[in-house]
């Protein structure tokens, strides 16, 4: 979907988590297609701070925004002063809320809820005051071990998935109360593509496998990887879903996936094919049993009906489109 440039003339768009994976892709989408819109990016940006699992507290990286010409604000959505500044100094028309703790292995439940749930409600209140449409990142982690991937079948098996269920619950409460703005939650399945590299260990297996192979190493797969099936969605289709959500037929929570589950072995084989390689695999125990989804497959019937969304990239198409960037990153950041 592409708006005529003038349709967003003088509109102000806020993207939280805008130096992250999905947020930065949205920022560049608007810059490329809607030059008359004002785009504001807010991101905590990374420091050396880590969680108890050793992973970074923020994945926002300035390199994801190289070439961006909009306004960039360094700020934590948990900081009341940042939220007050956003409320008082701007008048937003659209808010794309991508900022979150997205690491499913984070054990700090208090900070997860504060960041993902409480801060979201505060931002939603700003949207209501500004009469701004709210489009936010939910997650397939809400389904957990459920075998039915439709809204109403949530069984989160980690605090991250729980936090996203709580976000969706808040959204439904406010959807009932008003109809002046659209409130749309997008339950992303396994997203991969340009901009994810700086997520480090939590980046997709697509880029991780690619860099292992380019380094001449064996790809490390969890035991039984041919039976671990996920719905892998390319970043271009995630951006598409966000843009479609701007004109959703009705507010609600929608799945964003391909509707087809593929294995981690499929990814490894496809990446090898695109790189012209055929190395053996090394199988290792899965350390995430109990907090890991072994099957996901989005039901996108409602997403098609109410957002007009249709995935354009198969796993093979997405990896083929992504492979140049994987090679570029290896030369620039890894080698």
Burial class (CB in 10 A: 0-12, 13-18, 19+), 23: buried
CA–CA distance, 312 with 314 (Å, rounded to integer): 7
The H helix count followed by the E strand count for the chain is 10, 13
Provide the 10 A C-beta neighbour count for residue 284. Answer: 11
Torsion angle, alpha carbons of 40, 44, 47, 53, to 10: -140
CA–CA distance, 280 with 322 (Å, rounded to integer): 22
Structure tokens at 104: 């499913």
Q: Cβ distance 160 to 141 under 8 Å?
A: yes
- What residues act catalytically? 160, 199
């Amino acid at each position: 979907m592409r708006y005529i440039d003038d349709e967003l003339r003088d509109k102000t768009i806020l993207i939280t988590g805008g130096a992250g994976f999905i947020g930065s892709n949205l920022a560049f989408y608007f810059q490329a297609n809607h030059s008359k819109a004002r785009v504001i990016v807010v991101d905590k940006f990374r420091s050396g701070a880590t969680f108890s699992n050793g992973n970074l507290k923020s994945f926002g990286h300035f390199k994801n925004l190289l070439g961006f010409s909009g306004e960039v604000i360094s700020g934590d959505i948990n900081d009341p002063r940042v939220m007050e500044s956003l409320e008082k100094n701007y008048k937003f028309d659209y808010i794309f809320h991508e900022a979150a703790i997205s690491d499913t292995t984070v054990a700090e439940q208090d900070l997860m809820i504060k960041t993902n749930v409480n801060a979201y409600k505060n931002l939603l209140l700003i949207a209501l005051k500004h009469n701004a449409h709210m489009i936010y990142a939910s997650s397939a982690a809400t389904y957990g071990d459920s075998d039915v991937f439709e809204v109403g079948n949530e069984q989160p098996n980690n605090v991250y998935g729980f936090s996203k269920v709580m976000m969706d619950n808040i959204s439904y409460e406010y959807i009932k109360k008003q109809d002046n703005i659209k409130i749309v939650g997008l339950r992303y399945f396994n997203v991969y593509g340009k901009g994810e590299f700086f997520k480090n260990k939590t980046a997709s297996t697509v880029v991780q496998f690619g860099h292992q192979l380019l380094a001449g190493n064996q790809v490390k797969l969890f035991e039984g990887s041919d039976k671990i099936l996920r719905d892998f969605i390319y970043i271009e289709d995630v951006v598409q879903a966000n843009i479609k959500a701007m004109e959703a037929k009705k507010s609600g929570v929608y799945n964003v996936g391909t509707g087809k589950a593929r294995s981690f072995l499929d990814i490894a084989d496809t990446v090898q094919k695109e790189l012209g390689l055929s190395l053996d695999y090394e199988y290792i125990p899965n350390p995430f049993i109990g907090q890991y989804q072994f099957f996901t497959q989005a039901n996108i019937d409602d997403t098609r009906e109410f957002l007009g969304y249709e995935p354009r990239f198969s796993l093979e198409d997405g990896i083929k489109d992504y492979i140049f960037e994987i090679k570029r990153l290896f030369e620039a950041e890894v080698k």
